């Protein structure tokens, strides 16, 4: 995944640098599609009160409101921080052999390479190593992923677990962009 990200970054920077100039001599422009994972949430705002983020002299924003609103917002944040969500995941690995630690890591890497954009979790509950993927509110959403991974992980099955809050845009795990890449012209 790191190699792909590095390749993508180099390609984008090269494309942007060449786009800033006129088309180079002897080069042909080719459109390429780039896939980027969509953002799940802004981690820098996680657990913070919106009131503390917006206010302050440096930001130039002043909020005039009843103090009970701030109190209600703070209690809402603290309550939801402890809240657990029950949902579904797809278990792609479950084993207790001697080499299960390495095999579970390999299964997780294989999944992440084939299905970027889905979360993957590796756990150990004595004596089993487990790899589960996805965060789905409904079983039907998990079944869709299960049908896609069955070819690569034939023993995969659905489990009911405590999940992380799913992405707001769960239908679009990726954002697509079109970039123009210059290649040498065929002679």
Structure tokens at 26: 């002897």
Within 10 Å of residue 52's Cβ, how many Cβ atoms? Answer: 10
- Residues 134-159: what's their mean pLDDT? 91
Contacts of 100 (CB under 8 A, 6+ apart): 128, 129
**pLDDT band at residue 145 using 50, 70 and 90 as cut-offs:** very high
Q: What is the dihedral of CA 176, 122, 109, 4, to 10 degrees?
A: 40
Tell the CATH superfamily of the 85-163 domain.
Sporulation related repeat (3.30.70.1070)
Return the percentage of the chain with pLDDT > 70, whole number: 60
Question: 90 near 133, Cβ under 8 Å?
Answer: yes
Give 41-72 pLDDT, tens digit per residue. Answer: 555 665 566 666 666 555 667 777 788 988 88
d(CA 110, CA 107): 5
Question: 28 near 185, Cβ under 8 Å?
Answer: yes
Q: Is the pLDDT higher at 160 or at 9?
A: 160
Model pTM greater than 0.75? no
User: CATH 3.30.70.1070 spans which residues of the chain?
Assistant: 85-163
Q: State residue 18's pLDDT score.
A: 46
């Amino acid at each position: 995944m790191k190699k792909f990200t590095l390749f993508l970054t180099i390609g984008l920077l090269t494309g942007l640098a060449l786009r800033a100039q006129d088309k180079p001599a002897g080069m042909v422009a080719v459109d390429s599609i780039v896939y980027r994972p969509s953002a799940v949430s802004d981690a820098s705002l996680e657990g913070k009160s919106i009131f503390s983020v917006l206010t302050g002299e440096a930001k130039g924003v002043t909020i005039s409101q009843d103090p009970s609103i701030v109190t209600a917002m703070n209690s809402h944040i603290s309550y939801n921080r402890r809240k657990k969500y029950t949902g579904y995941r797809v278990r792609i690995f479950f084993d207790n052999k001697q080499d299960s630690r390495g095999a579970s890591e390999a299964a997780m890497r294989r999944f992440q390479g084939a299905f970027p954009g889905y979360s993957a979790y590796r756990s150990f509950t004595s004596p089993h190593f487990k790899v589960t993927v996805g965060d789905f509110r409904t079983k039907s959403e998990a079944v869709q992923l299960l049908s896609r991974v069955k070819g690569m992980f034939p023993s995969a099955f659905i489990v009911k677990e405590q999940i992380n809050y799913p992405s707001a845009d769960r239908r679009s795990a990726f954002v697509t962009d079109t970039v123009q890449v210059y290649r040498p012209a065929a002679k």
